[in-house]
Amino acid sequence: MDAAHAILVQSSAGKDSLVMLHRIATWAKKAGCLHKVVVIHIDLGEESEWPGVRELAQRQAERYGLRFHVLRAEGGLLGLVEKRGMWPDAARRLCTATLKRDVANKLLRQIAAELGLDEQAVILNCMGIRAAESPARSKKQRLAIDMRTSANSRMVLTWHPIFEVTDREVWQEIATHGLEYHPVYDALIPRLSCVFCVLAPFDVLVRAARLCWALGLPLPARYRDLEAKIGHRFKQSHSLAEVYAEAERLERKEGALVWNRGDAVRQHLGADAADDYLARVALAA
């Protein structure tokens, strides 16, 4: 951190970003480097993401008095699919590359240029990726030179500061420090991704459709209709039409989804931890 000229924290506002941000802000403060930290959030728009994500990312950054940049990925996931006539998949995650990486890299180059240094700028680009998330992610390096974005004028280092942290440890840190997380976790949606993420399993997509209905969002029908219009199945294993039908069946059987604030902490750490967390958040408000 001391050697870096700028420290960029890429925040989705999700639980992993939240813990990464807390750690970076704590370490940077100790190292006297807080002024170098910039939080970047990429906004995919209301037709792709859950409500309140951008505002939450901003509040999370402001808790530490950090600079906050929002970048808009025009059209979001839906716009990308409409344009290409097909859904991205795990092997060709064009959505991540086009909507997130390319947009963030543009700002990264701009920040390096604005430093106006005579020497090569050293940029730490921090991301909240964890090895436990997937076999593909576990193969990533904790710290590496980003050859694609580095140039004579800048060396970009990609750093995964919470790489070895487990799911339970993430929730433990959130609970201990009373960090504000997005309410969709309380509805037991495990990741704060796009509402209908191409990487999400069937049961999570079904729950996402039901949560949309509970929140009065029109997205399930919008996505199902887009799938029918472009004639490309959302995933080999299941279509969005099947997700929609299963969500409808469960609504009829169980009624609308209900959840309470703190349910995510309750699920991961137990009832006492959830009560402590809620008391801590209320105190900070």
> Given the rule CB under 6 A, which residues bind ligand SF4?
77, 88, 93, 95-96, 99, 193-194, 197-199
Judged by beta carbon, residue 1 or residue 107, the one nearer ligand SF4 is 107
Least gap, CB of 185 to ligand SF4 (angstroms)? 15
Return the number of the residue (60 or 193) whose C-beta is nearest ligand SF4.
Answer: 193
Provide, rounded to whole angstroms, the least separation between the CB of residue 44 and ligand SF4. Answer: 7
As a dihedral over the C-alpha atoms of residue 205, residue 49, residue 72, residue 38, rounded to 10 degrees, the angle is -100
Q: How far is CA 119 from CA 81, 101, 112, 116, 147, in A?
A: 42, 25, 11, 9, 18
For 64, phi then psi, to 5°, come to -105, 5
Please identify, using beta-carbon distances, which residue of 199 and 245 lies nearer to ligand SF4: 199
C-beta closer to ligand SF4: residue 96 or 138: 96
CB of 51 to ligand SF4, least distance (A): 16
Q: Which two tokens stand for residue 202?
A: 């069937």
Q: Do 98 and 194 contact (CB within 8 A), yes or no?
A: no
CA geometry: angle at 178 spanning 37 and 62, to 5°?
30
Give the shortest CB-197-to-ligand SF4 separation in angstroms: 3
Q: Which residues, listed in sequence order, are joined to residue 68 by a DSSP beta bridge?
A: 39
Nearest approach, Cβ of 111 to ligand SF4 (angstroms)? 23
Nearest CB to ligand SF4, comparing residues 77 and 187: 77
Pick from 98, 88, 102: nearest CA to 197: 88
CA angle, 220 then 14 then 223, to 5°: 15
- Segment holding 20, helix H or strand E: helix 15-30
**Minimum Å distance from CB 2 to ligand SF4?**
33
Q: Which is nearer to ligand SF4, 178 or 190 (CB)?
A: 190
Token digits of residue 51: 């409500």
